[in-house]
């Protein structure tokens, strides 16, 4: 368990830096300026929100790996909770669906992301969208508060996924459900990728096998578990070559290992 605090601090620092970064790089694998290979426009994870009602460009930092709000079956009047809400992108799309009678709550633990989200919400004049500071492993909400939980490429960055999904179960109302987009793996990623903290904060090395991911959800008591969308993610050679030598790269390509973006639904 010694890894938990350092990893959380790495992720928090990374996303605080992204919130400060005015560059619009549409990729959840955003890296700092010293790692040039990551600064290119690799749209290997993110999907476009531009066609969705409620989309606000200033809130779209390109940090997602799916469109959970598209699949979340959100209804007018719902209370929606967004885990790892960033600058508010998914919250504002959800707000267009819940209308004036609903409520949207964003949770994030990066102070600068929260500042950015609140600024965006204020500029839009929303009174039923709020952003709270909190840890996904210990959500600052009571039991049975949310109709729907969404999250976009965040849960893979949480060290204790069992606890995270346990918290989702706790805050959902009976009959409530979640739709989350996340990164999972098939097979075994090379150790060098798993051990690299920068890759962890960039959405890959925090991922776990898809079968394990779905088993965790099942073991927390969820039912009606289904994958709503799945796509394989190809990482460019020039990125992989930063972590793998030629032989390791060849072995990786010839293996059945893969990185996938999935959107998962389950109900309480």
Using DSSP's 3-state secondary structure scheme, residue 166 falls into helix
Q: How far is CA 181 from each of CA 93, 151, 228, 250, rounded to the nearest angstrom?
A: 15, 6, 9, 29
- Which residues on neighbouring strands pair with residue 259, listed in sequence order? 185, 233
* Helix residue ranges per DSSP H, 51-196: 68-71, 89-98, 111-124, 161-171, 191-195
CA–CA dist 39, 30 (Å, integer): 7
The model's pTM: 0.82
Task: In the chain, count H helices and then E strands.
Answer: 10, 7
**Which residues, in sequence order, are CB contacts of 191 under 8 Å at separation 6+?**
none
The per-residue pLDDT string of the chain (268 residues; one tens digit each, 9 = 90 and over) reads: 344 456 677 666 676 676 566 444 444 444 443 333 334 333 455 666 767 777 777 767 777 788 899 999 999 999 999 999 999 999 999 999 999 999 999 999 989 999 999 999 999 999 999 999 999 999 999 999 999 999 998 998 898 999 999 999 999 999 999 999 998 988 877 777 766 645 554 566 578 899 999 999 999 999 999 999 998 877 777 777 877 888 888 888 888 788 888 999 999 9
User: Which domains, from first to last, does the chain contain?
Assistant: 4-8+61-267 (3.40.50.150)
- CA–CA gap between residue 47 and residue 217 (Å, rounded): 24
The residue among 158, 208, 152, 155 whose CA lies nearest residue 10 is: 158
DSSP 39: G
């Amino acid at each position: 368990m010694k890894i938990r605090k350092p990893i959380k601090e790495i992720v928090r620092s990374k996303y605080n830096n992204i919130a400060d970064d005015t560059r619009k790089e549409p990729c959840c694998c955003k890296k700092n300026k010293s790692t040039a290979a990551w600064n290119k426009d690799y749209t290997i994870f993110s999907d476009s929100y531009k066609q969705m009602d409620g989309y606000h460009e200033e809130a779209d930092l390109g940090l997602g790996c799916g469109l959970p709000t598209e699949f979340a079956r959100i209804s007018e009047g719902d209370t929606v909770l967004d885990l790892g809400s960033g600058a508010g992108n998914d919250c504002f799309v959800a707000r267009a669906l819940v209308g004036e009678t609903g409520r949207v709550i964003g949770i994030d633990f990066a102070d600068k992301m929260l500042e950015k989200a609140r600024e965006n919400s204020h500029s839009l004049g929303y009174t039923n969208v709020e952003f709270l500071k909190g840890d996904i492993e210990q959500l600052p909400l009571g039991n049975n508060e949310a109709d729907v939980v969404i999250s976009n490429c965040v849960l893979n960055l949480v060290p204790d996924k069992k606890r995270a999904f346990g918290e989702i179960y706790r805050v959902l109302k009976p009959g409530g459900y979640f739709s989350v987009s996340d990164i999972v793996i098939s097979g075994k990623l090379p150790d060098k990728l798993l051990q690299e903290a920068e890759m962890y904060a960039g959405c890959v090395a925090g991922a776990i096998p898809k079968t394990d991911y779905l088993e965790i959800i099942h073991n927390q008591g969820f039912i009606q578990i289904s994958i709503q969308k799945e796509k394989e993610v190809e990482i460019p050679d020039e990125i992989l070559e930063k972590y793998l030598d030629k032989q390791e790269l060849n072995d990786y390509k010839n293996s059945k290992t893969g990185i996938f973006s999935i959107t998962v639904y389950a109900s309480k």
